[in-house]
């Protein structure tokens, strides 16, 4: 994650950086990994405001806690990505739960994919953006 931020700093704001809370966290270390993501979001490495996060699957026991930690960073993520739902029944709750976390965390940038009437990125159930 740090190398990606360093590369973005070197090349300029020509690409976004996604900090991965799903595949990047060791089993049982999801909260600590979310704290690392929050610290990197707030760091000088996030100089262009083009750093987002991919969160855990909705059914993960730490989903709400991880989303809240990331959203409480001193610098808000540019976007949040939800992993692809494994079925229709999982998609809507993912967006609803994320919206609730974003709202209760006071993140001003929340917009669901449905609210913006855009197509979701392939492989993701929803996108939160701050622009």
Q: Which domains does the chain have, with CATH numbers?
A: 2-129 (3.20.20.60)
Please give the pLDDT value at position 101.
60
Q: Residue 24, class by beta-carbon neighbours within 10 Å (0-12 exposed, 13-18 middle, 19+ buried)?
A: middle
Q: Judge whether residue 17 has pLDDT over 80.
A: yes
- What pTM did the predictor assign? 0.73
pLDDT tens figures, 22-49: 887 889 999 999 999 999 999 999 999 9
Residue 6 has pLDDT above 50, yes or no: yes
Q: What is the mean pLDDT of residues 49-67?
A: 92
pLDDT at 90: 61
Torsion of CA 10, 25, 124, 109, to 10 degrees: -60
The string of pLDDT tens digits covering residues 66-113 is: 999 999 999 999 998 888 777 666 655 556 656 666 655 555 555 444
Please give the structure tokens belonging to residue 130.
């701050």
Extended beta strands in 21-123, E state: 51-54, 79-83
């Amino acid at each position: 994650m740090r190398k990606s931020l360093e590369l973005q700093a070197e090349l300029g704001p020509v690409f976004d950086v996604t900090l991965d809370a799903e595949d990047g966290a060791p089993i049982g270390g999801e909260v600590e990994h979310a704290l690392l993501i929050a610290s990197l979001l707030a760091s000088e490495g996030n100089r262009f405001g083009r750093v987002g996060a991919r969160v855990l699957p909705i059914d993960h026991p730490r989903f709400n806690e991880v989303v809240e930690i990331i959203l409480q960073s001193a610098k808000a993520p540019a976007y949040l990505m939800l992993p692809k739902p494994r079925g229709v029944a999982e998609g809507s709750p993912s967006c609803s739960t994320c919206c609730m976390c974003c709202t209760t965390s006071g993140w001003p940038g929340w917009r669901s994919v449905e609210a913006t009437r855009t197509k979701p990125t392939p492989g993701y159930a929803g996108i939160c953006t701050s622009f």
